[in-house]
Amino acid sequence: MSDFFPDPPDVPEEVEVERPQPEWLGPPSDALPGVVPVELILGRSEKAVVMLTGWRAFAQGLAMTLSVRTRALPRSVNLQEEVFDGPYRHDQDQTWRRDRLKWGFEYADGRRATNIGPWPDLDGDDQTPDRPVLIGGGGGGGDRSTDRYYWLWPLPPGGKLTIVCEWRQVGIETTTTVIDADPVVAAAARSQEVWRS
């Protein structure tokens, strides 16, 4: 290097302190999930269909994609607001709350997590929710088709896993789908950390 552009002085490199995200807020970024072959239609009417795919199991929980496809929505329905708002927009009335897209899980032990549940109470010093949570993340789409990523925490236990869906405004009455959660637990056991200690 020339004397005209001298080398900058050496500055010690700062070590970034790793602050892991709480496991209940989303899937770990440092793990390869076990994949669960699930393709489900949770609810269907002449106007819309709600599907669940892309299950990725981790030791901590289950990541998935909720997909909604529509044909003829009422003008009052905004697909993006239906899928991406929640748990409740406080400026909406009881009719909106009753008619909106709702879905969730019931574990074999009776615990439930839904897309309309209130934000969890954080228990004790470790700030861990006192119940299972279903948290929506990113995604996108258009007027008739949209996908959103969800995180279910904690990982469901083996046995029966019940998924319930309802969207009255588009003619989807309460539907129940029951699956065996044992393959989910097995897939989570295949999950791997990507960094070796």
User: Domain of 36: which CATH number?
Assistant: 2.60.40
Scan for tokens 């003008």, then name that residue.
75
Angle at 141 between CA 166 and CA 57, to 5 degrees: 65
| Each residue's pLDDT expressed in tens, for the chain with a length of 197 residues | 567 777 878 877 777 766 778 899 999 999 999 999 999 999 999 999 999 999 999 999 999 999 999 987 777 778 888 888 755 555 566 776 788 899 999 999 999 999 988 777 776 666 888 899 999 999 988 888 999 999 999 999 999 999 999 999 899 999 999 999 999 999 999 999 998 76
pLDDT at residue number 144:
87
Scan for tokens 């400026």, then name that residue.
91
Q: Is the dihedral of CA 43, 46, 47, 53 positive or negative?
A: positive
pLDDT at residue number 54:
93
**Beta-sheet pairing, 192-193 with 172-180:** unpaired
**Beta-sheet pairing, 172-180 with 160-167:** antiparallel
How many domains in the chain?
A: 1
Scan for tokens 């269909």, then name that residue.
49
pLDDT at residue number 109:
96
Neighbouring CB atoms inside 10 A of 143's CB total 10
Scan for tokens 């020339």, then name that residue.
2
Is 141 inside a domain boundary? yes
List the one residue out of 170, 138, 131 whose CA is nearest residue 152.
Answer: 131
Is 111 inside a domain boundary? yes
Is 173 inside a domain boundary? yes
Strand order in the sheet with 172-180: 112-114, 102-106, 160-167, 172-180
Is 21 inside a domain boundary? no
pLDDT at residue number 197:
63
pLDDT at residue number 17:
66
Tokens of 54: 């892309």
List the one residue out of 14, 154, 148 whose CA is nearest residue 79.
Answer: 148
pLDDT at residue number 193:
92
Asked if 192 contacts 32 with a C-beta cutoff of 8 angstroms, the reply is yes
pLDDT at residue number 93:
65
The H-or-E segment that residue 97 falls in is helix 94-99
Instruction: Give the integer Cα–Cα distance in Å for 58 and 48.
Output: 31
How many residues are present in the chain? 197
**Displacement of CA 144 from its chain's centroid (Å):** 21
Q: What is the pTM of this model?
A: 0.84
Is 5 inside a domain boundary? no
Range of the domain at 125: 31-191
pLDDT at residue number 92:
61
